[in-house]
Amino acid sequence: MAKVKTYPAYLVMSLVIILDQVTKAVVRNKLPLYSWINVGEKWFGDTFQIFHLQNSGAAFSLSLPNPLWNKGFFIAVSVIAIIFIIWLLYQSTNRIQVIAFGLVLGGAIGNNLIDRPIFGAVTDFISVDIPNIIKGMDRFPVFNVADSAIFIGMCLLIYDLIFISGKKVERKEAEPLLETNDKILDKEL
């Protein structure tokens, strides 16, 4: 089996970081903190908004009690996670995994190794209204391009695990049974 090329992961990672940082810079420079604008209001009302928030915690604003602890903890965890993801990248067996790891790397670097050290918090700005599936939650938590890249990358990895890599494992497990059955048939003939 040929080794999968990993350079596309670094291209994807670079594109995610650039898109993430450019969009965050525009929001920080053009939209005051805690203000928003509706996107496509004529067609969608207030379903889609650009809403400027600074998040010093993790996803959904989960955080430790001290902002300095938050910053240090999330940077340290990100460095460890990035090293692990790069290791996984070099273990990749197909292009979907390579692209997925590129998306996750770009998101992790954009949020936790650029925003946190430089700005002290992550700039979130994409706000989407959701149906009232969860009581008391009218809008999905505000997120950004890096968060989206991580989510899409994880979805691709789950898809790969279920439909691609999982099928290879099933096939490999079935092969010894076929060989055994062939040997039994040969003996009987």
CA 2 to centroid of chain Cα atoms: 27
Please check whether residue 45 lies inside any domain of the structure.
Answer: yes
The pLDDT confidence band at residue 8, using thresholds 50, 70 and 90, is very high
Do the beta carbons of residue 143 and residue 126 sit within 8 Å? yes
Is the pLDDT reported for residue 187 higher than 80? no
The pLDDT confidence band at residue 135, using thresholds 50, 70 and 90, is confident
Is the pLDDT reported for residue 54 higher than 70? yes
Please check whether residue 1 lies inside any domain of the structure.
Answer: no
Reported pTM: 0.82
pLDDT, residue 171, reads: 57
The tokens describing 33, both together, are 């903190």
**What amino acid positions are annotated as catalytic residues?**
124, 147
Count CB neighbours of 152 within 10 A.
16
Do the beta carbons of residue 16 and residue 149 sit within 8 Å? yes
Beta bridge partners of 128: 48
pLDDT, one tens digit per residue, over 74-128 is: 889 999 999 999 999 999 999 999 999 999 999 999 988 999 899 988 999 999 9
Please check whether residue 143 lies inside any domain of the structure.
Answer: yes
Do the beta carbons of residue 48 and residue 24 sit within 8 Å? no
Please check whether residue 2 lies inside any domain of the structure.
Answer: no
Q: How far apart are CA 67 and CA 80, in angstroms?
A: 20
Q: How far apart are CA 54 and CA 112, in angstroms?
A: 13
Please check whether residue 115 lies inside any domain of the structure.
Answer: yes
Q: How far apart are CA 76 and CA 12, in angstroms?
A: 23
User: Domain range holding 172?
Assistant: 7-188
pLDDT, one tens digit per residue, over 160-172 is: 999 988 776 555 6
How many domains does the chain contain in total? 1
